[in-house]
Amino acid sequence: MTRLFPYPILSAALFAAWLALARTLEPAHLALAAALATGIPLVARRLFEPPHAIRSPAAAVRLTVVVLYDVIVANLIVARLVLGPMDRLRPAFVTVPLDATHPYAVSLLAAIITTTPGTVSVDVRLAERAILVHALDCADPAGLAAAIKSRYERPLMEIFG
């Protein structure tokens, strides 16, 4: 079973995505979806990190809610910054040191930093174990790094163990 489906969640997502895109439950499409869900992960597995279990689904749900909330609230803040006066913005580069080591956790953290407004992760420096972040308006770089670590990195480490 694991040899046929090395990435069960990816396979399930591909299966569901195909049926949703075709907007149908016809047997032919079910078969095609099953074939794609089996074939794509097998063909593409050389590109991926080895599969890794989610240790704490509860933490994953909590983090999803936190990120969705932050995306909406912080987008309003960025909208105000963008429409307001430009010379008041204080852009800064912030280096966020990493405690998380798993590649999944690090790349997810980089993606979350970019999706939550005010910050874009510019460079993931695995050798230095740090993410270089560009902030649009930041008066307190150390505080921003600490906030990112406690709000996003800690739950990610819980999830990936």
Partner 1 sequence: MIVEAAVSFFLVVGSFFLLVGAVGLARLPDFLMRLHAPTKASTLGIGGLLLASLVWFATHGLPGVKELLVTLFMFLTAPVSANLLGKAALHLRLKSRAPLPPPAPGADPDA
Q: Which two tokens stand for residue 74?
A: 């912080």
Count the neighbouring beta carbons within 10 Å of the beta carbon of residue 74: 15
DSSP state at residue 135 = E
CB 2 to partner 1: min, Å = 25
| Dist. CA 27–CA 144, nearest whole Å | 52
Nearer of residues 23 and 46 to partner 1, judged by Cβ: 23
| Dist. CA 57–CA 31, nearest whole Å | 30
CB 92 to partner 1: min, Å = 5
Nearer of residues 135 and 157 to partner 1, judged by Cβ: 135
Nearer of residues 82 and 146 to partner 1, judged by Cβ: 82
CB 35 to partner 1: min, Å = 19
Binding site for partner 1 (CB under 8 A): 17, 20-21, 23, 71-72, 75, 78-79, 82-83, 86, 89, 91-93, 95, 110-112, 114-118, 120-128, 132, 134-136
CB 160 within 8 A of CB 60: no
Nearer of residues 4 and 128 to partner 1, judged by Cβ: 128
Query: What are the beta bridge partners of residue 135?
Result: 92, 119
Query: What are the beta bridge partners of residue 94?
Result: 133
Count the neighbouring beta carbons within 10 Å of the beta carbon of residue 57: 9
CB 45 to partner 1: min, Å = 19
Nearer of residues 55 and 125 to partner 1, judged by Cβ: 125
Query: What are the beta bridge partners of residue 95?
Result: 132
CB 50 to partner 1: min, Å = 19
